Chains A and B, each alone.
Chain A
């Protein structure tokens, strides 16, 4: 059985949403915080509901709606989301009120919407969808965990037309805390020269991306999602190489068969060292691309990469802005996404032409 990506929708720091141009008009930033380019949510969500929705709920629900529209599907067979931090805005709001108001006279809305499954629940509620509904919250592989579940459901023939997505929001509070934790660069950096700084820290981002997965072949499918895998705490770079090689071998491939490798480089010298080593070993003959200068780093940033890979394959073009070296195949047929989160969690997604 094959798994296909029927449609994909993405809100990010670039003009990726409801837009037919594929990364032709790049948004440039000179900051350590990239903010999403957002649509007029009234076109996607009942205006009565928008007022109470936090940022991540709006991004998630609108992206899911656009994804279903793109697939021509009214009712998905399952809804699965991934998010590391969940609904931070509502969490911070409720926590702040507990402290500032000494636990008295608290309105419930922020608490109600603070649970991690709120986005998946709101989509189900909007669609009146009684099907399987799950939310994965496992740090830098939250989105991949959701994808993995979706693929298993398809293989089990428990559901078809599975709506799966990743959502993450940045709030002023989380940006301040992450900055203090040293995750971001100390000084603003032009996002288009993110990788040349070679200093500590990255740039933060946020966004939502949803995909409609099916096992039904169709000329309208964007691409095949050939395989997804994650691994935890590799011993060293040779161990990473071994695992990637094994992943490719399980799909009867060697590195040279991959037309484009999309890496999880994020401008943090220590983070990027792993990708640099791989570009000199396993991927020394491969065309390489990066994406986090466009969308920033966030726990489900790899969902942006999957949106990117799906569109590269469907359109048969690679946006110049993502390329690290020379493109060998103008219209890639096999794209490998290799992401890692603090070298603790690695993920591999193999996307192929149909």
Chain B
């Protein structure tokens, strides 16, 4: 039977991004205040020296060696497998074989990195181009490749709602548990940096030539990042069987649409406001209950202004500490909701508030500013994580201490 009031627990986390290949490396990078941005090395591009990006510090070959995959069907799948595997190992669920397990993964680029290779030859001659490079172009292929490696068959799906993709995957996973479709679900997302997305964001003129400065008055855009982040969500029943402490619960979530413009956010952040407000309603919490907000905070003038306005509308006059970890990881697009959900779960578990790097000047129209220091030993009961994307897709998640 479905039980919509059932608590959904986070039992494991896994993450890979420019600041680390696993959870431990991320925590160390946060503590050192070390960002992951640098010059592009993954592919040749005219933007090499002018658009810093936050690449995972492993080549495709190194990722293949690490994951043990025999074929290269997309960097997104490689990143996805590393983080999803870490999350499952971390959860260490006893008797997993007897449980119904789902994999809900999100991405936006699919096998685009391989399709780009295919396309160069294909364009010159339609009978050329290696078909194996385009065979797994679909976003769904990334999910399938990883699910096969993880041995998950009971429920698979892929979500793609631009930069809110994996936040939607996470709460979809929770709903699958509450609807009694699965007992355990690995949920999150992945995205690799590709020439396609780099040039796409560049045409929109929202890439910073320097390292990004989220929520700063003089912010000039985002840095593209890449990575993957997954949570292992478990039902109440499974939670009771675990031999190790749980991270937190997923207590609230909402997906609302800004319905303003295909790429730009509305000036008053309608979608962001609705997502945060309704996620609070869902969790039964008040704005003053939130102890930390992991902002979407891309560093573009438009996003931070809209998100900031929405935060002001909802939280004024008492603002919780907040920061954008994209100042470390860059904007990992379809992975960002998953990556930052992992950071949120870790924040609750270890009592951490992450610094918003390179912040100097408060935005003129906002009465608050992000946290600059790495804070430890914080008692965080409720953490909000925001993920907003193209198409007006706005999603907020709330994680709560057990």
Contacts and interface: CB of A to CB of B under 8 A. Distances in A.
- Judge: A and B partners, yes or no: yes
Interface of A: 79, 84-86, 91, 94-96, 98-100, 102-104, 106-108, 111-118, 120-122, 124-125, 127-139, 141-142, 145, 148-149, 152, 155-156, 173, 176-177, 180-181, 232-233, 344
A116 B164 CA distance: 12
A156 B174 CA distance: 12
B156 A138 contact: yes
B116 A130 contact: no
Contacts of B263: 112
A181 to B, nearest CB: 6
B257 A107 contact: no
Closest CB pairs A-B (n = 5): A121-B391, A111-B200, A108-B203, A139-B140, A116-B160
B46 A102 contact: yes
Contacts of B261: 125
Q: How large is the interface on B (under 10, 10 to 19, 20 to 34, 35 or more residues)?
A: 35 or more
A156 B161 contact: no
Contacts of B259: 124-125, 127-130
Contact of B2 (A120, A155, A180, A233): A155
Contacts of A115: 108, 160, 162, 390-391
B123 A99 contact: yes
A232 B138 contact: no
A180 B127 contact: yes
Contacts of B115: 95
Given A132-B256, A134-B159, A137-B139, A95 B119 contact: yes
Q: Which of A94, A117, A145 lies at the interface centre, i.e. has the most chain B CB atoms within 10 A of its CB? A: A117
B226 interface: no
Contacts of A96: 119, 123
23 contacts: A84-B138, A95-B196, A96-B123, A99-B123, A104-B46, A106-B202, A112-B200, A112-B390, A116-B161, A117-B162, A118-B391, A120-B161, A124-B392, A125-B262, A130-B257, A130-B271, A133-B257, A133-B392, A136-B158, A145-B158, A177-B122, A180-B131, A233-B153
A95 B390 CA distance: 19
A277 B384 CA distance: 52
B192 to A, nearest CB: 15
Contacts of A129: 257, 259
B256 A117 contact: no
Interface string B306-349: 00000000000000000000000000000000000000000000
A233 B154 CA distance: 10
Contact of B256 (A100, A112, A131, A145): A131
B158 A137 contact: yes
A181 B135 contact: yes
Interface string B159-193: 11110000010001001101101000000000000
A102 to B, nearest CB: 7
A231 B309 CA distance: 44
A84 B140 contact: yes
Given A96-B123, A138-B143, A121 B257 contact: yes
B4 interface: yes
B7 interface: no
A151 to B, nearest CB: 9
Q: Which of B4, B120, B138, B390 lies at the interface centre, i.e. has the most chain A CB atoms within 10 A of its CB? A: B138
Contacts of A134: 159, 161, 168, 172, 255
Nearest to B115: A95
A130 B255 contact: no
Given A113-B262, A118-B262, A176-B126, 19 more contacts: A85-B138, A86-B139, A99-B123, A103-B46, A103-B199, A112-B390, A114-B200, A115-B162, A115-B391, A116-B139, A117-B162, A117-B390, A121-B391, A130-B270, A131-B257, A136-B160, A138-B158, A139-B144, A156-B178
A273 B322 CA distance: 58
Q: Which of A98, A99, A125, A128 lies at the interface centre, i.e. has the most chain B CB atoms within 10 A of its CB? A: A98
Given A113-B262, A118-B262, A156 B175 contact: yes
